[in-house]
Structure 1
């Protein structure tokens, strides 16, 4: 014996998909469930359709919703027989709660379902790829941050070092006390281009030592080619002669 269609048998299922309750068109049910027609107000009716998960264009002239989907505050009195004009089904909507509209007139084709699943899988895969890329980029950003921090520390160190050797101007030329740690005052005067330079005893002694550590050509190479601020060889010879007597 074939199963009889509920609507043909005079039964109308509650429009909420997850609801198991039926309403008999001819015989009134004497149970705890009361069934309500969809409201005539278009805006409220559209909201009912959305909550039930049916298309906005679905014909609901013979559709009903049972009382299990309404709250106590949706009724005009305690009998739960009359709904307020603005009442909306919110209870026991099951998995349909908050879901978009779904047409019930036709069963979705397998191809459409498979396409949706494949699309979802591709999106998940792309999301994972983007997360991996973001992880690599985050590691690079952290590396550059550390490099910047090291650079900032080095800049700070160099600035403190420079601060120990303040610049000062003299006769329009720049000199620093850093030079004083390497050259004597006579050598500095020579570097500054002064015509007359008075060499100290230490200057001449150093020049004499350099001359006799190497040879004449080596001394001239340091003085004339490398531009080392040194006394002339004739000045060194006069100094040696004056110190022998």
Structure 2
């Protein structure tokens, strides 16, 4: 009887091993698709500071979330982000905006040393997700500042992109949404290429200001007329 039990035990242990292998398949890794942006050629193009770019807290993780019909979010079982989603967003927008402006002078915040921007983009992304039966959705708000720090454009956007339901198709749709956002930002930035140069007004030195004030308080001397004759010998 003991000899007959041994093959059965080996067979059961083999089935358990196969079941364990099937439930521990490695998840696929995904990155956002930045499209096919060309390399900018203009070295003296519009100088743009892109950022700070803030991303919603729920997106600051490697888990690829799936939006459900009731609005809830669940972690994907067959995929996750390959690294930082925030970093992917930054690089996608950088490449897209630089290509669309044809400018080598588009940089990410914080401001690099010896860099004076012609324009700055402040961007907040509050939603970027999708589901097998839910379209990819991007909610964001951005402001464009000119050389003087004045707001030249301000917009709240809501973008949607359909897909065929697969995880790879969802990630691709999210990348398309960010490319569309980059196109909007570029359209708002282009008019700033013609803004007047920033000229600093020269202020007088404090000592000169004091002398001018003292002169203004001293009454002007007036000539005194007299009828006396002056004789010289």
Bucket of the pairwise TM-score, normalised by the shorter protein: under 0.3
Structure with more helix by fraction: 1
TM-score when normalising by structure 2: 0.25
TM-score when normalising by structure 1: 0.24
Structure showing greater Rg:
1
Structure with more strand by fraction: 2
